[in-house]
Chain A
Amino acid sequence: MSVISNHYGEYPFKNDYIFDKFKFTFTLDSQVFRYFRETFHSQKKNLLISLNNIDKIIVQPSEPLVSDLPKTHLMLELSEPLVLPPDSEIRGFFDFPVSVAILVIVNNKITPIDLFQLLPYKFALYGNSHNGVLCRYWKTSFYPVPIEPRIFETGVLEIEIQNSSSSTITLTRLVMDFAYIELFYNWTVVKAKARARIQSESLCETQFLVPTDVHNFTKSYDLIPTKILSSSKFIMLYGI
């Protein structure tokens, strides 16, 4: 029996799941499940899960984490620079990449089993190679109104940008630590929220917040464990 669908959410356990751009199967092999996933660009994954019973499956959007190079910073580069007058504030939207996570539920216990991307990914260096950070790279535009994200590929990031400096600032990029992102999703839309406080042309503080208006949305299960005793804010020291 198969599940044919194309949205995020919780599904009853079946052997086959077919989505538009990916599919996965579970086969019980004596005491373990064999999991096989394939994406439309032939990315394959095979693994054994040491369970003999699965209650439900969750297909959810997750942090834009790449298993091959697990870096937790995201650089959003603007295709058109955004000019901000002194002491001003603007609210708008960016799109950002999401990963797809497959989780299994057994006795109300959630276990992530797979994480993959349907979009090709790139990385970028923010700062220098000694003191900087490696970030997942994403080129985006600033949208004054909410945009329609692409399911299983992108989400919508609501952003508040404050220019606290006394000079006009041209914003070309933002770097943030997505280890602290709070993702909310419904069937087709993924939402997150962030704030950027610009102090000067070379200094900006970014932070993820809880998005507003998430009624009827589900919070994504965090794949990156919460860091204790560390700040959720990221300070951009090498220019904006």
Chain B
Amino acid sequence: MKIANILTPEKIIELTVVIVIFLILLVLINLVLKKLKIVLSDKISFQTLLVFNRFVLWGFIVLYTILALTYFGVKLTGILALGGLVSIIIGFAAQKVVGNFIAGLFLIFERPIKMGQSVLINNFSGIVEEIRFLSTIMRTFQGEFVRIPNELVFTSAITNLTENIARRVDYIIGIRYSDDFEKAKEVVLKFLDLEQFVLAVPKPEVFVEEFASSSVNVHIRFWVPTEKWYDMKNYLQDVIRNKLINSGVQIPFPQMEVKIHNLDGFKER
């Protein structure tokens, strides 16, 4: 059959109309989905909305294509049979892709990570930007773009830094052997009690961690809301140090006491 016989002027007009209708519907669906995204943004997570949008869009494209092909008299059984054969060939060639896709589905539904969360995956730490069907996009804390295949995300140990609502801050500060530990403890606890984002429950703790060679190492630990963890951890360490110094407690540096028993013999040589 010649192409000229298939593409009659009537058919070209019909094809143009079908494509125009497709484009109009596509624009309309996009507009509705955008509106839905705004309306539902405070009720449904951004990630769920994104997945829903993709399903609707791709669902529409596939359905419209099937309907259009049927309208033009294309027999779908042939395509399906061909599709079956093609899918076997592709299946062998693209096992990894399929694996990533299935892992992506599991990530979307199990939700061990969500968009906007700070995570540590396979030596990459950063913020989850997007969970696509085949890969997860991360922005590292240094601002780099990282694309991790979903299969790797799914099979790796994931540390989610922001999933829980509170996190603990730990400091180890050395004080001199001659300093009063109870006084240092009181100074730190009194200060932490005044800090608004240091949680009252669980109570902050201060205890001796280790009798080290040059200092008594004091362990300070307290809980803060996760969203304040980074700021508080950075801000409080220096403030606690200053509070201790101002109260007369000193942070020692490593010291070594050298004793020479036979000083006379040392001089002779």
Contacts and interface: CB of A to CB of B under 8 A. Distances in A.
B165 A134 contact: yes
Interface stretch (B25-33, B96-104, B222-230): B222-230
A120 B194 CA distance: 8
Contacts of A69: 197, 225, 227-228
A201 B225 CA distance: 27
B201 A134 contact: no
A129 B196 contact: no
Interface in B40-83: none
Contacts of A132: 165-166
B202 interface: yes
A192 to B, nearest CB: 22
Given A69-B197, A122-B196, A134 B225 contact: yes
Given A69-B228, A134-B225, A123 B199 contact: yes
Interface string A97-132: 000000000000000000000001111111001101
Contact of B201 (A75, A120, A121, A130): A75
B196 A125 contact: no
Interface string A69-92: 100000101000000000000000
B32 to A, nearest CB: 23
Nearest to B228: A69
Interface in A2-57: none
A121 B197 CA distance: 8
A155 B2 CA distance: 87
Which secondary structure dominates where chain A touches chain B? strand
Contacts of B194: 120
Contacts of A123: 196-197, 199-200, 225
Nearest to B203: A124
A69 B224 CA distance: 11
A125 B197 contact: no
B164 interface: yes
Contacts of A125: 165-166, 199, 201-202, 223
Nearest to B164: A129
A75 B197 CA distance: 15
Contact of B196 (A121, A126, A133): A121
A137 B200 contact: yes
Contacts of B198: 122
Interface in B109-168: 163-167
Contacts of B228: 69
Given A121-B196, A124-B200, 12 more contacts: A69-B197, A77-B200, A77-B201, A122-B200, A125-B166, A125-B223, A126-B201, A129-B223, A129-B226, A130-B163, A133-B165, A134-B225
Interface of B: 163-167, 194, 196-202, 223, 225-228
29 contacts: A69-B197, A69-B228, A77-B200, A77-B201, A120-B196, A121-B196, A122-B196, A122-B199, A122-B200, A123-B196, A123-B197, A123-B199, A123-B200, A124-B199, A124-B200, A124-B201, A125-B166, A129-B164, A129-B165, A129-B223, A129-B226, A130-B164, A130-B165, A132-B165, A133-B165, A134-B165, A134-B199, A137-B199, A137-B201
